[in-house]
Amino acid sequence: MRASASRASYGPQAMTGRNIGNRKRVAVGGIRYEANSFSAIECPETVFEEQFIRRGRAVLAAAPANSEFFGARSVFEAASDVEVVGLLDTYPGCGSPVPHGAYERLRNEFVSLLRDAQPVNGVLLSLHGAMATDEEDDVEADLIRAVRAIVGHEVPLIVSMDLHAAVSESTASMLDGLIGFKTCPHTDYEETGRRSAELLLDAVRGASSPAVFLEPVAMITAAEAHDTNTGPLSSHMNHAQSLVDGSSVLDVSIFAAQPWLDAERTRWTVAVTYDRAECGGQARARSIARTVATDLNADIGSFRVRKTAVGDIWQSVLAFTAGPVLVADSGDSPSAGADGHSLDCLSRLIGEGLPTVLATMTHPELSIAASHSPTGAWMNGEPLAPSVEVIAAASGRFERRYPAGPVDVGSCAVVRVHNATVVITERPAMMLDTSLFDHVGLDPANFAVVQVKSAGGFRAHWTSISDRIVIVDSLGGSSSRLTELPFHKISRSSWPFSERQTVQSGELP
């Protein structure tokens, strides 16, 4: 993108740290990652480099459609009084906690770029809100603290976060604005980016003086209960948005937290961004946050979910008269940070004489071996099966539509065993859309059953293929059986650990 006198500019020239006339200088960047404490696959030191790191002007210029920075870019481009300083942006996805050294190196680079960009009038960060390392449970607070150490506490700092952010009071206290996704599945990336950028520009221009009030909600719930289209969260989210008046109350965000992050900060929260300059703004923000939190607590029983037992998969599938039927392997969802290697669900779908199945699994050794075998060869397929036929091999690099961006799943191969065609990847592959299947030339519509390793986020894109869905109570790092997982750090005062409600047979918190 070319800078012009009538538009916001961003690029290498913005790194000089010089003021340009009366234009406002804002720095933008982000380090995003969603940690799952129960993932068995160790996060590599090169986790960020293996996916993407955008630096400088590329933070905005290369931002794909359906992303927060794409939305923010449209706001900045329309501003004639703004110069944007791109720092760095990365989002390698989800998985086990990041090696602390890998995060430290990236944080130090981020901080160095911000220091070189001084002075700035404002900062916009895009963070996930549930990142952790093997040494730090609250990475967002650590990064924001480092940013504040450079810009001070008078420079407006606005942050956007995922609906599954686990927001700590420490984090909220350092922010001037906190804007969360309002949808799950997440379809408002661009809108969130636009709202965040607009809030920042209002603040740096002196049109508002935003601040954040955070109210914790003592509950941790399964991801299937976070759906804002059909789930119980829908009415609460709609009510929260109706309370935004655009003057004293600038945003109301409900954060449902990443339920598989074993950290003290893990629980629902309600964040209200308000204008300190408006009379009664803080009191109204406090009242709204506590009202929304109280309503959520009162409705806690609605956030239980019902799933199909793994032993009843075929009974549920065959109840449909047409396909494809989507079998959601919810307990082993890579988009929730799980490994994607569990066969708890897939093993029950494979067999001679059964309807055709399309599936995925993570297995480094098997994917590498298959990708180096000739097409049509039979090879040892353990642990999937004693023998599998190699159908194809493909590069692990492709463009994902949701969330948008480049991805690298490592070695990638397609094998067949009995009725099942299985795409095996070296690294966990998010299955929130059909991008992986498209990449290897497989059309899900041609199969009777499609196993989708996702806890619920798949609905945004997969329902255009089929609305016949079976949610399976499968094992794995994203199991809905939260009280059976080895948590050590979360608050036991949070439901369902507090046992404030009795869970009925067949129901999962």
Listed residue (161, 193, 155) closest to 178, CA to CA:
161
Q: Do 260 and 277 reside in the same domain of the chain?
A: yes
Residue 507 lies in a domain: no
Tokens read off for 181: 């996704």
Q: Do 261 and 328 reside in the same domain of the chain?
A: no
Q: Do 204 and 330 reside in the same domain of the chain?
A: no
pLDDT tens digits for 174-184?
999 999 999 99
DSSP-H helix ranges across 132-280: 139-151, 169-173, 189-204, 233-242
Residue 504 lies in a domain: no
Residue 419, exposed/middle/buried by CB under 10 A (0-12, 13-18, 19+)?
middle
Q: Do 464 and 339 reside in the same domain of the chain?
A: yes
Query: 303, 325, 343 — which closes off a domain?
Result: 303
Q: What is the DSSP letter of 130?
A: B
Q: Which domain holds residue 373?
A: 308-479
Residue 439 lies in a domain: yes
Name the amino acid, one letter, at 52: F
Query: 275, 303, 331 — which closes off a domain?
Result: 303
Residue 1 lies in a domain: no
Q: Do 317 and 241 reside in the same domain of the chain?
A: no
pTM: 0.90
Residue 84 lies in a domain: yes
Residue 500 lies in a domain: no
Q: Do 168 and 67 reside in the same domain of the chain?
A: yes
d(CA 276, CA 332): 44
pLDDT tens digits for 322-339?
889 999 999 999 999 999
Residue 236 has what pLDDT?
A: 97
The pLDDT tens digits along the chain (509 residues) read 223 233 454 443 333 334 445 889 999 999 999 999 999 899 999 999 988 999 999 999 999 999 999 999 999 999 999 999 999 999 999 999 999 999 999 999 999 999 999 999 999 999 999 999 999 999 999 999 999 999 999 999 999 999 999 999 999 999 999 999 999 999 999 999 999 999 999 999 999 999 999 999 999 999 989 999 988 999 999 999 999 998 999 999 999 999 999 999 999 999 999 999 999 999 999 999 999 999 999 999 999 988 999 999 999 999 998 889 999 999 999 999 999 999 999 999 999 999 999 999 999 999 999 999 999 999 999 999 999 999 999 999 999 888 888 899 999 999 999 999 999 999 999 999 999 999 999 999 999 999 999 988 898 889 889 999 999 999 999 999 999 999 999 999 999 998 654 444 345 56
Q: Do 313 and 460 reside in the same domain of the chain?
A: yes
Residue 326: phi and psi, rounded to 5, are: -90, 120
Determine the distance from the C-alpha atom of residue 400 to the mean position of all C-alpha atoms in its chain, rounded to a whole number. 14
Query: Which CATH number does the domain housing residue 245 bear?
Result: 3.40.50.2300
Residue 500: phi and psi, rounded to 5, are: -70, -20
Q: Do 112 and 250 reside in the same domain of the chain?
A: yes
Q: Do 215 and 339 reside in the same domain of the chain?
A: no
Task: Judge whether 169 and 195 are in contact, CB under 8 Å.
Answer: no
Q: Do 216 and 277 reside in the same domain of the chain?
A: yes
Residue 144 lies in a domain: yes
How many angstroms separate the most distant Cα atoms in the chain?
74
- What are the contacts of 72-75 at 24+ separation with CB within 8 A? 72/28, 72/124, 72/126, 72/193, 72/194, 72/196, 72/197, 73/1, 73/193, 74/190, 74/194, 75/193, 75/194, 75/197, 75/198, 75/201
Q: Do 245 and 374 reside in the same domain of the chain?
A: no
Q: Do 318 and 280 reside in the same domain of the chain?
A: no
Q: How many domains does the chain fold into? A: 2
Residue 96 lies in a domain: yes
Query: 285, 303, 321 — which closes off a domain?
Result: 303
